[in-house]
Structure 1
Amino acid sequence: MLKFIKIMVKPRLLVTRFAPHAQQVAEKLNEQGIFSIAQPLLKIEEVEHPVSIFHKPYDIVIAISCNAVEYSDKQCKNTWPNARYFAVGKATQLLLTTKIDQSVFIPETDFSSEGLLALPMLQQLTNQTVLILRGVGGREFLRDQLILRGASVDYYESYQRVAIKLSRSTTAHKWQQQAINGAIISSIELLEQLIKITAYEDQRWLKSLTLFASSERILEYATNLGFQKTVLLASISNQELINYFTDEGSYDRD
């Protein structure tokens, strides 16, 4: 059973989200007296498709991220399919709602592929066609489970993640000089990149940080890599991150 204990050490945070979200969150947290450094580790590049698949009929469209919504909207030129729409998280739901002007369904609490698959509307999908909006690569778990439930599934991969070049010899040293004691992580890919750019001699320090994420899967992955202090957030949206650190404080799990 998980136990949450309020810690007395004031958070000094590394915000690893994509730009401009990292800068926005760090700026707001600093304004509230929570020291934060914006350090995007990956950048987004558009992937253009010569032929859009949005002209095909779909019963269900699932958006994995805000980037998937933004770049898909740019490429489909307001020709969104007449379908039922789903999103993995609250921020993606909000953005997609503004694009399609209709309801978007999300998991009740577990904002992940697993949470999405638990929704009653996605249990029986015989002869249903599903379009998943996402970036290049990633897990096949959602697609595989939808197929097992009877659906035919297509991807629309409108962007890709590209590593930002950072110095392995100096980057972690700068963070240590700033007394960073926590990091906000929004994906396993970002966590892997954080480890990759940290020199071997700084790995022990890195794994002493408290990791904050809104996914149990990310935190379990981190624990398996040697991180011992992890915190499950309700959401990774900008405002809820700010609310968490300014209103509730930070928590350590043991």
Structure 2
Amino acid sequence: MKMTGNTILVTGGTSGIGRALAEAFHDRGNRVIITGRRPALLKEIAANRPGLVAMPLDLVDPASLARLMREVGACFPELNVLIANAGMSRTEDMTAPGWNVATAQSIIDTNIMGVLHVTAAFLPILKTRPNATIMATSSNLAFIPRADFPAYCASKAFLHSWLQSLRHQLRTVPVEVLELAPPYVQTQLTGERQASDPRAMPVVDYVAEVMQLIEAGEHPRGEVLVERDRARRWAEREGCYEAMFAAMNPA
């Protein structure tokens, strides 16, 4: 992926990793379009960063995605990078009386189907553009799950597998497929506490390391793994999966 001169669409670009990536690429001289579900926040972000474009998008609303497709196609036909970052996370207690799949369904609709829908929407454009890239955000928890976030971890494992298949199918098409698998980062993904948790990696540090890896082309198999990602990614190969799982999920 080239670092400058792109037109980049970022889903989930109003906070956390998505916003930090959008701003980092904008600082590099790229045209960046962020999307999100909160119009007031989109307007505020765009006003504070001249040149950044903000467009509303609710990934679980087909009409919203169709509208975005039309607007991007009309205004930014040069689009060549999609960063599919939007996601949600919730705990689930499957032993609780009355447990149902409502939370899991919401996570699947956003984390899985949202990525698939937005990729399907913009892949025809990307296939016609030089230096095209699709980058999607999975998670370090795709490799070893936190058992109290079952659907979230499973959704990210799905993306890890699906992106491998997408990469293989596009092997003769000039569209690069990259995967981010962040560790525990100081965002509001699970609430305010995570954003200030000293155990979590500062989002600015995470994105700075990601940008360095992308610029250097250090992403074997299309996986952009920062240093904190690597132990969990290779835990099974190194024979320490069970110990790591136990440490993350105390009995």
The two structures share one fold, judged by TM-score above 0.5: no
Relative contact order: is structure 1 or structure 2 higher (C-alpha 8 Å, sep ≥ 6)? 1
Which of the five TM-score ranges fits, normalised by the shorter chain? 0.3 to 0.5
Query: Which is greater in Rg?
Result: 1
Could you tell me the TM-score, scaled by structure 2's length? Answer: 0.34
More strand by share: 1
| Larger relative helix fraction | 2
**TM-score when scaled to structure 1?**
0.33
